[in-house]
Amino acid sequence: MPNIVILTGAGISAESGIETFRAETGLWAQHNVEDVATPEGFVRDPQLVVNFYNARRAHGASALPNAAHEALARLEAENDGEVLIVTQNVDDLHERGGAQNVLHMHGSLGSALCASCEHRWPAPMEMNVGDACPACSAPSARPDIVWFGEIPYQMDRIIDALGRADIFAAIGTSGNVYPAAGFVAEAARIGAQTVEINLEPSAVGSQFDNAIMGPATQTVPAWVDDILKGR
């Protein structure tokens, strides 16, 4: 009954039609990350940033969870030990695929945040610059997204789960962004078995004990079957 921590990235949602960040046609190819995913970018041009996330919220709403999301939900339901899905993704496909215990370390398109009082509420499909906070009425609503230079959410909970992990799996992430890319080193330090599931080795691929290459909709269900059969 292994305790399992799973880190997912954009690659797990790619086959649901949601663009990844670093592919040639990916999100960052079309936008300058400094303009749309930093606090400075939001101060410089809040409308550009709000539009960027409105477009991704609308696109995400029409995407469907795929067999990889559903397989992780099955693992969470059937594994005797703990299963924590830590996702870097801001879409809700893990939840719509049936997972109950998802930690969005980089925030979520479905949530709005008040930059004044830090109140959170369900984001409307279309946010506007200067939307009022329902709690303090300040015109300071922003996407509840962790931008570059901001501190990821629930790091204590993540580090605590990694300290108890028997298995750490990274699925569909390029290993470019920290602190997420450093989780494999943390898991290996405490002796967890580590596996990378991807189309190709990530920037930290060499730090994993094992690698399973192939599209997530094929590799993840097979990996979950093996885990649940105790292989």
Residues forming the site for ligand BV8 (CB under 6 A): 9-11, 14-15, 20-22, 26, 37, 88, 90, 106, 145-152, 155, 172-174, 176-180, 198-200, 202, 215-216
Contacts of residue 107, defined as CB under 8 A and 6 or more positions apart, other chains included, come to 90, 113, 143, 144, 145, 146, 153
Active-site residue flag, 106: yes
Contacts of 152 (CB under 8 A, 6+ apart): 105, 106, 146, 179, 180
Q: Minimum CB separation from ligand BV8 for residue 86, in Å? A: 10
Compare residues 174 and 194 and give the one whose CB is closer to ligand BV8.
174
- Shortest Cβ distance from residue 13 to ligand BV8 (Å)? 9
Select the residue whose beta carbon is closest to ligand BV8 and give its number: 11
What are the φ/ψ torsions at residue 189 (nearest 5 degrees)? -60, -35
* Smallest distance, ligand BV8 to C-beta of residue 1, A: 27
Maximum Cα–Cα distance across the chain: 54
Per the listing, tokens 């939001």 go with 42
Q: Which is nearer to ligand BV8, 138 or 205 (CB)?
A: 205
Whichever of 146 and 161 has its CB closer to ligand BV8, that residue is 146
Q: How far is the CB of 211 from ligand BV8 (least distance, A)?
A: 12
Q: Give the residue with the Cβ less far from ligand BV8, 152 or 227.
A: 152
Task: Give me 47's structure tokens.
Answer: 């409308």
Residue 80: φ, ψ to 5°? -70, -35
* Polymer length in residues for the chain: 231
- CA 128 to CA 131: how far, in whole Å? 6
From the list 69, 94, 104, 106, the catalytic residue is 106
The verdict on whether omega for the bond into residue 179 sits within 30 degrees of 0, i.e. cis, is yes
Residues involved in catalysis: 106
